[in-house]
Amino acid sequence: MKTPSGSTLIVGGRFVDPSQGFDGPADLLLADGAVAWRGQGQPPQRAERVIEATGLVIAPGFVDLHCHLREPGQEEKETIASGTLAAARGGFTTVCAMPNTAPPVDSRALVEWVRERARATAAVGVLPFACVTVGRRGRELADLPDLADAGAVGFSDDGDCVASSRLMRSALEYSRHLLLPVIDHCEDPELAAGGSANEGYVATRLGLRGRPAAAEEAIVARDIALARLTGGRLHLAHLSTAAALDHLLRAKEAGLRVTAEVTPHHLTLNEERCCGWGWGTEERFLKVSRLPSSVSFDTSARVNPPLRTTADVKALRRALAEGLIDAIATDHAPHAIPDKLCEFDAAAPGISGLETAFGVSLALVHRGELDLSTLIARLTLGPARVLGRGPHPNPLPVGEGRVRALAGPALSLPKGPAQALGTLMVGAAADVVIFDPDEEWVVEPEGFASKGKNTPYAGYILKGRVLATIVGGRLAYAAERLKVTATAKAK
């Protein structure tokens, strides 16, 4: 990443920062890579450039807890450079790279390689996760303290569940001392084996082997029991079932250090999307510019965990709105075109989601199921707190009951080496997103910055578009229609 260049004043916009409990008109001054001032009227210093944000929303840059940048070893699918450019276009200023690369990130050398590669090529901040087990094979615990010392921000064998309860217990015990989360892919490997769609009427009608909801529920219950036993920091990846939410609720009511995420596709698509029946949007949740000409398998909707039932989708939305689910995470999983041009069972699971995540999630706001400040909180403050980098010190505070209150203005930035994320408090990093909540656009994968064009949202009409992403005071992405003016000082 490049160093900050100059100072920027953003004027005329609606400023929304859940970490400060603020939603209203305000201007923002960025200088020396940090937030220097927020207010109205004359700023304390003259900026070198001015961004006109009238009619737009200014918010903290989004933080993605869960994406796959594929480097090292799978550069035909994605690179850190292409994936982070896609992130910038989607409003993300920080992304967490999962370690299921080739080879997997299970050693100090590989963690350091990812960090160095990101410094050299990334458009946004990259925080590497490291493996829980050596080679992600589930047989031997990786050297978690050494991985943390090398710069890993957490541990995950994502793509595979940590099937051994003994190893998962050990990982959570380390997480308690290292103050770093363990992210688990919650599907029992034996129950899910061979399945490619949700076990139910859609899979039966299509002749596909199903992945039952019980596979997720079983591992969620086991992991929570181990979190209770160890006092460790557990994060549940891409939850997809209503049954899992019941376990999560009890864990939070008990004060356990358990957090969870949900993806935009599990919030908006149901199992019918696998074959295009109604395009799988419950009550036409999202508009489409065209409908498929015939019913067929659609491998763009092949994802793990699979798209679930309408009842599951509704339960996930409620849990997100109520604060039971802490964060929206993309699970960005780009693939080369041949990986999806095959039978449904043989298709690689995953969706290229960084560039559509915000527009898809904003549909919740436009439908009145979520207010804008809460959505931004789930994209900023929530994921920052999971990482222990929100505007509060470690350890991560636990939720109280079903609703976790948004942070108020009395909070301060964390001290120590951890850089605060998910906030635009004065002194925080100048990581900013500017978006138009009402601009409609058609998803055209061929125009993605990501190498992965695999998306079930091709042809969907999304309402809400990112116009600028600023990382550490540097303009990482700007739409053509954004008005940026150099001042006389800069000239």
Catalytic residues: 331
Question: Of 343, 328, 289, 364, nearest to 279 (Cα)?
Answer: 289
Write the DSSP string, 304-369.
Answer: SSPP--HHHHHHHHHHHHHTSS-EE---B----GGGTSS-TTTSPP-B--TTTHHHHHHHHHHTTS
**Cα–Cα distances in angstroms (integers) from residue 140 to residues 12, 107, 131, 164, in the given order:** 55, 13, 11, 10
Backbone phi and psi for residue 223, each to the nearest 5 degrees, phi listed first: -65, -40
List strands edge to edge, sheet with 62-67. 62-67, 92-97, 125-128
Contact (CB, 8 A) for 8 and 486? no
Helix axes 108-121, 80-89, angle to 10 degrees: 60
For residue 95, list its beta bridge partners. Answer: 64, 126
In this structure, are strands 14-17 and 22-25 parallel, antiparallel, or unpaired? antiparallel
The Cα–Cα gap between 466 and 437 comes to 8
Gyration radius from the chain CA atoms: 21
In this structure, are strands 327-328 and 432-442 parallel, antiparallel, or unpaired? unpaired
Contact (CB, 8 A) for 270 and 301? no
For residue 50, list its beta bridge partners. Answer: 9, 485
Q: For residue 93, what are its two tokens? A: 């200023």
For residue 29, list its beta bridge partners. Answer: 9, 37
CB atoms within 10 A of CB 346: 12
Q: How far from the centroid of its chain's Cα atoms is residue 139's Cα? A: 28
Contact (CB, 8 A) for 277 and 295? yes
Q: 409: burial class by Cβ within 10 Å (0-12, 13-18, 19+)?
A: exposed
Contact (CB, 8 A) for 165 and 156? no
